[in-house]
């Protein structure tokens, strides 16, 4: 039987959800028997999101043009997309800058007010991905199949969500005792 093509992506998030994924410890060995990791910031160095992915965990919100391009690629090439953690589900911490209205105050603060030596805004295209004026939860950009809240979702919650997904079934929403903040 062919293995499930499994991916994880890291958008605007702190990587804490991926750290929680690594907390699955020895269950990762069981997972490895069932899946091929075809794209992930942990354990796979592929630069382009591949075709025909079965399951993808998406950590982080949509905060810049790179996030936007990648999430559309993810949706086009993935059967089951999981909004993984509160930054993906609600935009969470990255969206705290939304109250400023646009990206300009963020860039000015980071590059001019806090810049040392010769402060200047990034001018050359491509050096810094262009920020969106508003940070968005993933489901406001693409349809999502499954939501896994938590900041981060702990390892038990990740495992209990993945077990049915890997069998092609929908996970039952776990009780709130499994959501840790
Ligand atoms: Fe980090 Fe929490 Fe966002 Fe996950 S949900 S990326 S742990 S801030």
pLDDT in tens, 58-86: 999 999 999 999 999 999 999 999 999 99
Q: Which residues line ligand 1 at a C-beta cut-off of 6 Å?
A: 13-14, 16-17, 59-60, 85-87, 92-93, 151-152
Q: What is the ipTM of this complex?
A: 0.99
CA geometry: angle at 56 spanning 103 and 32, to 5°?
135
Kindly give the number of the ligand 1 atom that is closest to the alpha carbon of 150.
5
For the entire predicted model, the pTM comes to 0.92
Q: What percent of the chain has pLDDT over 70?
A: 94
**Residue range 79-133, pLDDT digits in tens:** 999 999 999 999 999 999 999 999 999 999 998 999 888 888 887 777 789 999 9
Which pLDDT belongs to residue 29?
Answer: 96
Cβ contact 92:76 at 8 Å: no
């Amino acid at each position: 039987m062919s293995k499930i093509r499994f991916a994880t992506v890291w958008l605007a998030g702190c990587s804490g959800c991926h750290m929680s994924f690594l907390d699955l410890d020895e269950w990762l060995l069981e997972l490895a028997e069932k899946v091929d990791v075809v794209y992930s910031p942990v354990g796979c160095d592929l630069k382009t999101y591949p075709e025909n992915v079965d399951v993808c965990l998406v950590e982080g919100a949509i905060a810049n043009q790179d996030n936007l391009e990648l999430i559309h690629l993810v949706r086009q090439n993935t059967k089951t997309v999981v909004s993984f953690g509160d930054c993906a589900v609600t935009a969470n911490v990255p969206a705290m800058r939304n109250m400023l209205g646009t990206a300009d105050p963020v860039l000015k603060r980071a590059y001019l007010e806090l810049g040392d030596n010769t402060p200047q805004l990034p001018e050359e295209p491509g050096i810094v991905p262009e920020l969106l004026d508003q940070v968005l939860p993933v489901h406001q950009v693409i349809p999502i199949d499954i939501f896994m809240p938590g900041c981060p979702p702990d390892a038990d919650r990740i495992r209990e969500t993945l077990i049915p997904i890997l069998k092609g079934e929908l996970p039952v929403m776990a009780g709130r005792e499994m959501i840790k903040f």
